[in-house]
Amino acid sequence: MKFTDGFWHTRPRVDARYAQEAYDLDAAPDGRSLVVSAPTKVIASRGDTLNRTLLTITLSSPLEGVIAVRVDHHTGARRSQGFELVGAVDGGVGEVSIDETGGTLTSGPLTARVTAGSPWSLEFLEDGKPITTSGAKSIALVQLEDGAPVTTEPAGVAGVTTTGLAAPGSYVHAQLSLGVGELVYGLGERFGPFVKNGQTIDIWNADGGTSSEQSYKNVPFYLTNRGYGVLVNHPEHVSFEVGTEAVERVQFSVAGESLEYLVFAGPTPKDVLERYTALTGRPAQVPAWSYGLWLSTSFTTQYDEGTINSFIDGMAERQLPLSVFHFDCFWMREFNWTDFEWDARVFPDPEGMLARLHERDLKVSAWINPYIGQRSKLFAEAADAGYLVRRSDGAVWQWDMWQAGMGLVDFTNPDATAWFQDKIRTLVGQGVDAIKTDFGERIPTDVVWHDGSDPQVMHNWYAQLYNAAVFEALQESSGIGEAVLFARSATVGGQQQPVHWGGDNSSSYESMAETLRGGLSLAASGFGYWSHDIGGFEGNPDPAVFKRWLAFGLMSSHSRLHGSSSYRVPWAFDEGDEAPGQSAVDVARRFTNLKLRLMPYLYEVGLEAASRGIPFMRPMQLEFPGDPAVDHLDRQYLLGEHLLVAPVFSEAGDVQYFLPSGTWTDLLTDEVATGPVWRTERHDFASLPLWVREGAVLVTGSRDDRPDYDYTDAPLVTVYPGAEGSSRVRVSDPTGGEAIEFSVERSASGAVVTGPTGIAFTARLAGAAAVEATAGVAKLTR
């Protein structure tokens, strides 16, 4: 939201009152917070204190290396509830110091320093080095008169302005400096340019597809290449101007009388994400089976148990390993969604059908949303019990977009949440293993919530309550580490309930690329796992698009074949029409087998996401901070620390990508390349750039038919080029056995790989033949 007309003036009917000086500074009684009085005029005489706006600015620290700044106009006004900071330390951890020059609050390596007097100056330092500042005209109370020509409010549903001017009233904004060459990433799953500089971004969940500036997953957190992060602690609408209101600053504003933001220390982007997820919640561990290939009924296609069995039989006949079968919306009867009842016209024996799928060693996923159509018998049950969101006159809120006359489950009502969770438990009892929690973005603001929550806050926060309720029910039913969602909407904290997918994309290379940008932005926003519809959701992909997307999708954390109006079984595209190894079936088999062989490595990457909050799929900037060559890269990424992936976005197979400094080895061919180097290549459908980083020790598994096997059973340990010295690599057993470790000692002549006693394994130097271990040791020579 823009309030100014250029650098010097405010826009008409906009009254901006800026913090002009730190008039006085006080420590809270416990010494954990610094309180600053910041009048909106430099106080030269006692008369200047009259008829004056005073901003109270409070600095505190909820966790080491994190400093919160709260700006209050009227401290008695209603404040935003903020997000659930699950990792906050009671009482805070900051240390305050005040002298004649000003005051500081220090938390671990991070210090906030307020200079006494004018002009207003708040500086953030990490280990004594400045990282960002809040200078003159950076903090303001802004009053808008009716018709003030600021930017539009975000699009939404009933109760939200879709076009026009922002509502009159009070707003608070803050700005933080952007240094020379400083770039901003994150702010949720955004499908436009990965670097956010120059963008206006509204934090407001919307069902806008991947080809718009709207987002299903809005997260008011950003990360910069200067090695710090910022969270604006408001679930309601936040407007960001990233170098657009003031080109030297990031501005964020909210409606009301107060604003709070938190600064996270690094020094690396990974360190920032560790701190951020320690405070807002770490991703849950997901089951090993979820990493395998998911196949869907698709959305509006016709299907019954016979259709489903033909798909599963076809996959088996073609030796395409399948782990999960997904039932999309029409497992329930039309107009009834979501009533949790299988459509008896096509699924007369759901429990028997699901048991038969389990007998085929498949997991089952089922679609739901948080809406209930009025044709469903559950509508009257929920309405009578007070489980649906209501209008101010007491009537149930309803509309006809999506399901006719649908109502919205009120998850602020504990009884409604328990009721909804019981329905999930019933599904699990029938044989459902995973839930696709669709929608959750179209949340009205002209309603009354059971607990009295602010409707503006609930618009974004609803997604968190919805997904948390379903995830909790799955965990209770299946156990910790076995629950998994396929969620579309989210906000801060949503990373705790994996997995999320990228929403409705289209079947094109352009949409494939925008989908990747969305995933990279979400990863930079603290989300550990992410997926997308292989081939695109809307439309029917031509064979080339589908095959290129297969490679990309199977080199993502989670891999799902799903579409809108057409089936996504690989043989529906070009089976038998291509050169050997180039059909969609061949490509699907090759990359599914590859992913399953990589499971010992990938599973550890997932465990790191759960334990540290470092995402599974990593923007290049996370792994190579300080390298300006990677700052703008958004068509390649890393899976974990060691695997670089560059999807191919063209039918001919032309791709250009960058290998940073070091020795790289092609996983598929053992070719060695030395970076930094830009490479331009052409790949057939059975290939894509997939490189192993210098120093890696990659453990691959003995099976390529399933993701959930004992990774410690006869693994292959491959030692890639790296400096002489020692390293260790951990291998888990998701079937319940103990994890093991291999130690590697590199020397000029080769390497020695030592494993646990009694564990059979082979080892090799990249590019050489494998050597079978003897007595737990494999000696590798160049």
Average pLDDT value for residue range 588-604? 98
Q: Could you count the other beta carbons within 10 Å of the beta carbon of residue 125? A: 18
What is the predicted pLDDT for the residue at 158? 39
Q: Check pLDDT > 90 for residue 225.
A: yes
Residue with tokens 């802004």: 142
Q: Is 359 exposed, middle or buried (0-12, 13-18, 19+ CB in 10 A)?
A: exposed
Q: In sequence order, what are the residues at sequence separation of 6 or more whose Cβ sits closer than 8 angstroms to the Cβ of residue 525?
A: 186, 187, 188, 189, 217, 219, 221, 222, 223
Q: Read off the pLDDT band of 152 (50, 70, 90).
A: low
Q: Could you count the other beta carbons within 10 Å of the beta carbon of residue 284? A: 23
Q: Could you count the other beta carbons within 10 Å of the beta carbon of residue 517? A: 21
Query: Using only C-alpha atoms, what is the Rg of the chain?
Result: 27
Q: Check pLDDT > 80 for residue 465.
A: yes
Average pLDDT value for residue range 235-251? 97
Q: Read off the pLDDT band of 40 (50, 70, 90).
A: very high
SS3 content of the chain, % helix, strand, coil (to 5): 20, 30, 50
Q: In sequence order, what are the residues at sequence separation of 6 or more whose Cβ sits closer than 8 angstroms to the Cβ of residue 308?
A: 297, 325, 353, 357
What is the predicted pLDDT for the residue at 153? 55
Q: Could you count the other beta carbons within 10 Å of the beta carbon of residue 68? A: 26
What tokens does 485 get? 């969602």
What tokens does 489 get? 């909407």
Integer Cα distance of 374 and 41 in angstroms: 57
- pLDDT above 70 covers a percentage of the chain that reads 98
Which one-letter DSSP state was computed for residue 537?
S
Residue 406, CA distances (Å) to 83, 390, 724 in order: 28, 12, 65
Residue with tokens 């180097």: 677
* Vertex 663 angle, CA 662 and 665, to 5°: 140
**What are the tens digits of pLDDT across the range 729-760?**
999 999 999 999 999 999 999 999 999 999 99
Q: Do 69 and 259 form a contact (C-beta atoms < 8 A)?
A: no
Average pLDDT value for residue range 529-534? 98
In the chain, the largest separation of any two C-alpha atoms, in whole Å, equals 88
Question: Helices marked H in 123-253 — which ranges?
Answer: none
Amino acid at 583: S
In 178-311, the DSSP E strands lie at 184-186, 199-203, 221-224, 229-232, 238-242, 249-255, 258-264, 293-296
What is the predicted pLDDT for the residue at 620? 98
- Residue among 729, 734, 707 nearest 717 (CA): 729
Q: Check pLDDT > 80 for residue 14.
A: yes
Q: Check pLDDT > 90 for residue 545.
A: yes
Question: Helices marked H in 409-556 — which ranges?
Answer: 414-430, 455-478, 509-523, 543-554
What is the predicted pLDDT for the residue at 291? 98
Helix (H) / strand (E) element for 728: namely: strand 725-731
Average pLDDT value for residue range 75-92? 94
Q: Do 90 and 133 form a contact (C-beta atoms < 8 A)?
A: no
Q: Check pLDDT > 90 for residue 576.
A: no
What is the predicted pLDDT for the residue at 151? 64
Integer Cα distance of 671 and 186 in angstroms: 34
Report the catalytic residues. Answer: 438, 441, 504
Q: Do 131 and 227 form a contact (C-beta atoms < 8 A)?
A: yes
- Residue among 252, 241, 230 nearest 200 (CA): 241
For residue 392, the number of C-alpha atoms closer than 13 Å in the C-beta half-sphere is 6
What average pLDDT is seen over the chain? 96
Integer Cα distance of 701 and 709 in angstroms: 9
In 73-228, the DSSP E strands lie at 95-99, 102-107, 110-115, 122-126, 129-134, 139-144, 169-177, 184-186, 199-203, 221-224
- β-strands 559-561, 533-534: how paired? parallel
Residue with tokens 């987002």: 215
Q: Check pLDDT > 70 for residue 319.
A: yes
Distance, C-alpha 505 to centroid of its chain: 17
**What are the tens digits of pLDDT across the range 348-401?**
999 999 999 999 999 999 999 999 999 999 999 999 999 999 999 999 999 999
Q: Could you count the other beta carbons within 10 Å of the beta carbon of residue 96? A: 21
Integer Cα distance of 133 and 18 in angstroms: 15
What tokens does 578 get? 């291509």
Amino acid at 283: P
DSSP per position, 641-685: TTEEE----SSS-EEEEEEEEEEEEETTT--EEEEEEEEEEE--T
Q: Check pLDDT > 70 for residue 39.
A: yes
Integer Cα distance of 359 and 290 in angstroms: 17
What is the predicted pLDDT for the residue at 78? 87
Amino acid at 511: S
89 phi, psi to nearest 5 deg? -85, 130
Integer Cα distance of 129 and 114 in angstroms: 15
Q: Check pLDDT > 60 for residue 470.
A: yes
Residue 587, CA distances (Å) to 69, 426, 591, 655 in order: 52, 38, 6, 18
Q: Check pLDDT > 50 for residue 159.
A: no
Integer Cα distance of 275 and 283 in angstroms: 13
Integer Cα distance of 238 and 252 in angstroms: 7
Sort residue 257 into left (φ over 0), alpha (ψ -120 to 50) or beta.
alpha
Integer Cα distance of 543 and 683 in angstroms: 15
**What are the tens digits of pLDDT across the range 389-437?**
999 999 999 999 999 999 999 999 999 999 999 999 999 999 999 999 9
What tokens does 696 get? 């890696």
What is the predicted pLDDT for the residue at 162? 35
What is the predicted pLDDT for the residue at 155? 52
Q: Could you count the other beta carbons within 10 Å of the beta carbon of residue 599? A: 25
Q: What SS3 string covers 749-771?
A: CEEEEECCCCCCCEEEECCCCCE
Integer Cα distance of 200 and 218 in angstroms: 13
Distance, C-alpha 4 to centroid of its chain: 33
Residue with tokens 């909407």: 489
Q: Do 80 and 87 form a contact (C-beta atoms < 8 A)?
A: no
